[in-house]
């Protein structure tokens, strides 16, 4: 009788350990992926905001540029305002979609990192101790010969069972959302590509004018580059105007991060995620996050400034 | 179909932006500057009209992308609800274990008094 009971207990324990093994695998792969995903959505939101500011500012500069040729009219302004409002509406709606992906990663992380399995095991351990106390009080045989070991075992098995429940919930979610997340990340690559083209076009007109003024004009003007300081300034200006603007580089990095995140997602689904996969996402996002942080710090230091 | 449409808009935008870039260049403006005011006004209005068209095509491309994302949003919302529901179930299990523990602890103290 005792042997059969012990056998059942062992079978239950092994089943719990087995389930917990799957659960730990799922949670350990999902946790870093969800963290990288959260960082990705924050970076893309920041880039979307910067790109939109640039879009409107570039449009304003185009309006102002025309004033050197002819006076402006209200009709001209209205036409540009209408086009800008259309873009701003789309950006606002796109931001909602980014928020939704961010919420998904947050929920995924909350379940994967929850301490409930451990807390549940601790509660069960205390319950076993209390039960043993009751049985002692009733002057019956203790539930376990070694009460402390028994409480620990009950706690461990209880925690593992809950870990198993969590693991199955995560596995079920990965299976259900495997196509959705891959598709969303793929669409976001298109978004980042479209934003890149938009930003490049927005800055290109100004850069072309700056290049004409700061590089071409002094180069064609006699004695304009005769002194060392002028030559160095000309070299710096030329390099700056020939290389891609920082925002374009950031959008390229974010698009690469979206691709890396898609690869990481595919590996999470088959429990093959490695630290290198997560690093591939995070290292691409680090410069963007650093720039956003620097921008926010500058704004905080000078709230009235641009 | 959607991909074809997006591709066409991307291509169209690239071509329109090339033309716009030329129209805002110093080289072209130098040629416009000597013209009579009426001609310059026409030039500026046409150039800004092209700028507005580009902005509208850009908004249309963003709309295509946004609609594709919205097509996945129901599934994402369901995922959030499922994940939050699973977490609530686990938390509830822990709360039940805590409640049972409290009851048994109380029972132990009562039995101890017998």
Domain-wise residue ranges, chain A? 2-301
B111 lies in some domain: no
pLDDT at residue number B106:
61
Name the residue among A137, A172, A191 with its Cβ closest to that of B111.
A137
Give B47's contacts in chain A (Cβ within 8 Å). 62, 66
Average pLDDT over residues B84-101: 74
CA distance B12 to B19: 11
Which structure tokens are listed for A21?
């093994």
Instruction: Note down the domain range covering B33.
Output: 2-85
List the single residue in B with minimal CA-CA distance to A103. B80
CA distance B64 to A194: 11
Number of neighbours of residue B99 by Cβ within 10 angstroms: 11
A258-273 burial: b if 16+ Cβ within 10 Å, else e = bbbbbebbeebbeeeb
B49/A194 Cβ within 8 A: no
Name the residue among B45, B68, B76 with its Cβ closest to that of A76.
B45
* Mutant choice from A97, A160, A191, A197 vs B, greatest count of B C-beta within 10 A: A97
Within 13 Å, how many C-alpha atoms sit on residue A104's CB side?
26
B110 lies in some domain: no
List the single residue in A with minimal CA-CA distance to B76. A104
Axis-axis angle for helices A246-269, A275-301 (nearest 10): 140
Instruction: Name the nearest CA neighbour of A264 among A58, A15, A85, A29.
Output: A29
Alpha-helix residue ranges (DSSP H) falling in chain A? 2-67, 74-113, 116-137, 147-211, 217-220, 228-242, 246-269, 275-301
CA-based nearest distance B77→chain A, Å: 8
Which structure tokens are listed for B1?
């179909």
CA distance A54 to B113: 77
3-class state of residue A302 by DSSP:
coil
B90/A117 Cβ within 8 A: yes
Give A114's contacts in chain B (Cβ within 8 Å). 87, 90-91
pLDDT in tens, chain A (306 residues): 434 444 454 444 444 444 444 445 677 888 999 999 999 999 999 999 999 999 999 999 999 999 999 999 999 999 999 999 999 999 999 999 999 999 999 999 998 888 766 666 666 666 666 666 656 655 554 444 555 665 665 556 666 666 777 788 888 999 999 999 999 999 999 999 999 999 999 888 888 888 888 999 899 988 889 888 999 999 999 999 998 888 898 999 999 999 999 999 999 888 888 888 888 888 888 878 777 777 677 767 766 554
Measure CA B73 to chain center: 11
Q: What's the pLDDT band for B110 if we cut at 50, 70, 90? A: low
A69/B44 Cβ within 8 A: yes
pLDDT at residue number A293:
72
Burial (CB < 10 A; 0-12, 13-18, 19+), residue B92, is: exposed
Would an 8 Å CB–CB cutoff place A119 in contact with chain B?
yes
Reported as a single tens digit per residue, the pLDDT across B48-64 is 999 999 999 999 999 99
What's the CA angle centered on A31, arms A172 and A251, to 5 degrees? Answer: 105
Axis-axis angle for helices A147-211, A2-67 (nearest 10): 10
* Mutant choice from A55, A69, A142, A158 vs B, greatest count of B C-beta within 10 A: A69
Residues 7-66 of B with CB under 8 A from A: 10, 13-14, 17, 20-21, 24-27, 29, 32-33, 37, 40-41, 43-45, 47-49, 51-56, 58-59, 61-63, 65-66
B103 lies in some domain: no
Total of domains in chain B:
1
CA-based nearest distance A72→chain B, Å: 9
A68/B29 Cβ within 8 A: yes
B102 lies in some domain: no
B99 lies in some domain: no
Give A198's contacts in chain B (Cβ within 8 Å). 58
Number of A:B CB contacts under 8 A?
213
Name the residue among B27, B48, B84 with its Cβ closest to that of A62.
B48
B55 lies in some domain: yes
B94 lies in some domain: no
Is B96 within 8 Å of B37 (Cβ atoms)?
A: no
Would an 8 Å CB–CB cutoff place A24 in contact with chain B?
no
What's the CA angle centered on A267, arms A262 and A269, to 5 degrees? Answer: 100
Q: Is the ipTM of this complex over 0.85?
A: no
CA-based nearest distance A26→chain B, Å: 14
B90 lies in some domain: no
CA distance A129 to B36: 97
Number of neighbours of residue B96 by Cβ within 10 angstroms: 12
């Amino acid at each position: 009788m005792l042997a059969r009971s012990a056998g059942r207990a062992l079978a239950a324990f092994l089943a719990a350990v087995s389930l917990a093994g799957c659960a730990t695998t799922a949670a350990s792969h999902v946790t870093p992926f969800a963290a990288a995903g959260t960082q990705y959505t924050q970076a893309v939101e920041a880039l979307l905001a910067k790109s939109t500011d640039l879009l409107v500012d570039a449009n304003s500069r185009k309006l102002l540029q025309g004033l050197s040729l002819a006076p402006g009219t209200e009709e001209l302004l209205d036409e540009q305002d209408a086009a800008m409002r259309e873009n701003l509406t789309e950006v606002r709606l796109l931001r909602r979609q980014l928020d939704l992906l961010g919420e998904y990663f947050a929920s995924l992380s909350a379940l994967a990192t929850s301490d409930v399995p451990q807390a549940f095991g601790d509660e069960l351990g205390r319950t076993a101790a209390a039960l043993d106390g009751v049985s002692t009080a009733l002057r019956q045989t203790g539930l376990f010969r070694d009460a402390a070991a028994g409480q620990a075992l009950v706690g461990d098995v209880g925690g593992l069972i809950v870990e198993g429940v969590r693991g199955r919930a995560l596995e079920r979610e990965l299976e259900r959302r495997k196509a959705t997340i891959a598709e969303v990340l793929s669409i976001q690559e298109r978004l980042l590509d479209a934003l890149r083209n938009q930003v490049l076009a927005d800055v290109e007109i100004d850069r072309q004018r700056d290049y004409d003024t700061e590089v071409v004009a002094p180069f064609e003007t006699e004695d304009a580059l005769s002194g060392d300081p002028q030559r160095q300034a000309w070299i710096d200006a030329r390099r700056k105007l020939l290389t891609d603007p920082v925002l374009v580089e950031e959008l390229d990095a974010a698009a690469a991060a979206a691709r890396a995140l898609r690869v990481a997602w595919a590996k999470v689904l088959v429990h093959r995620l490695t630290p290198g996969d997560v690093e591939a996402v995070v290292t691409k996002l680090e410069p963007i996050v650093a720039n956003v942080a620097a921008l926010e710090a500058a704004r905080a230091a000078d709230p009235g400034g641009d | 179909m959607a991909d074809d449409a997006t591709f066409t808009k991307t291509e169209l935008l690239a071509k329109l932006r090339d033309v716009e870039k030329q129209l805002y260049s110093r080289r072209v403006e130098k040629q416009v500057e000597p013209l009579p005011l009426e001609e310059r006004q026409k030039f500026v209005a046409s150039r800004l009209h092209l700028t507005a068209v580009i902005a509208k095509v850009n908004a249309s491309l963003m709309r295509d992308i946004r609609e594709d994302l919205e097509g996945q949003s129901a599934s994402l919302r369901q995922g959030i609800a499922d994940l939050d529901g699973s977490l609530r179930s686990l938390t509830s299990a822990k709360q039940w274990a805590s409640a049972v523990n409290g009851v048994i602890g109380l029972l132990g103290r009562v039995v101890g008094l017998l």
